[in-house]
Amino acid sequence: MRIETREFSLPLESPLETAHGTIEHRKGILVRIEDGDFVGIGEAAPLPGWTESLPACRAALADIESPENSLSDLEDALTTLKSTPAARHGLSLALADIRAKRDGVPLYRHLGGPEYVEVIPANATVGDCSPAETVDAVADAVSAGFECVKVKIGARSVTDDVARLRAVRDAVGSDVELRVDVNGGWSRAQAREAFHKLDPLRIAYVEQPVPGDDIDGLADLRCRSIRVAADESIAEASVDAVLDAGAVDVLICKPMVLGGPDKAVEVAERARDVGVSPVVTTTIDGVVARTAAIHAAAAIPDRSASGLATGAMLARDLGPDRTRLVDGSVSVPQNAGNGVADTWGHR
């Protein structure tokens, strides 16, 4: 058996502004496991504020390249990577890829999914921009076939953001599902004001309205007419803290943040058991992790639109993308394993 890792850096089409700084490249580590005739590829792409740092990810993966390691040894190593979810994602995906290939099934079936899933509905994402630009961007997404659009808000005043969303709703009508993402940008008082003003606009849910560590603030907003979703709270607190507090209606499941596609499916099942809807999204990953997120979404029953249409945010990728985005839905690969080409030689 041969185990290798290789670092990569993928430029974004445009810099991404986050609460943790500007991201211009997605940097990470590919994990390749070759065992006989089978090859498994994983991707570990840390994201500041959500996972460990790149140096911590690198250090966590350093021990797995021993030629003496077997597949069983690597499975055992997953338990030591709980504090480094991106590293665990890279290793667990490579192992799941190779196991699914040996079994001759797509990754989503290896993860416990149904016999056949052809496509997954996806949401479009529109960033913070002027009201006119927001309307144009949402209208373009709807014209492209998206039935669900997520709009980034929270950087402007509540009044200004409500005006943006009212203009969007007036332009696209009532049939389009609108979600909004605040990225923890509101205080509790601002959030309560916003929920009141957003009520007539039929917003599906507000994602992370208050800072990630304010679980009580999320719980305070729940049971209103607009549903509440947690994202950053999963990284800053934990899945257990969010679910045990009964704080949300929707749980954003990022496989890279949770430690792998297997963990994303596991967390989604736990959420469903307590009446919380899981939504799978990516962290602007390369094609290896992005495709695995599609499989994770396919493995979840009664899935809603997922945040999987993020490939265009990269100026360059790890390799060819074999999935297709048509009419707001992304195709699910049916090849054995993850369905991604061996990207090792691709630069």
Q: Give the residue numbers annotated as catalytic, written as ranges.
A: 152, 254
Q: DSSP H helical segments within 111-260, as ranges?
A: 131-143, 158-172, 188-198, 215-221, 232-236, 239-244, 255-258
Q: Is 147 marked within a binding site? A: no
Please provide residue 212's backbone torsions phi and psi, each rounded to the nearest 5 degrees.
Answer: -60, -30
Per-residue buried b or exposed e for 271-282, using 16+ beta carbons within 10 Å of the residue's own CB: beeeebbbbbbb
Secondary structure E strands in 237-342: 250-253, 277-280, 325-326, 329-331
CA dihedral 65, 69, 70, 76 (to 10 degrees): -90
Q: Which two tokens stand for residue 81?
A: 């990577």
Q: Which two tokens stand for residue 296?
A: 């994770």
Any residues with CB less than 8 A from the CB of 33 and at least 6 apart, and which? 1, 2, 3, 39, 40, 42, 71, 74, 94, 95, 98
- Token match 């850096």: residue? 9
Q: Is 7 marked within a binding site? A: no
Q: Is 75 marked within a binding site? A: no
Any residues with CB less than 8 A from the CB of 199 and at least 6 apart, and which? 224, 225, 226
The whole-angstrom separation of Cα 259 and Cα 254 is: 9
Q: Which residues are annotated as a binding site?
A: 181, 207, 231
Annotated binding site for Mg(2+): 181, 207, 231
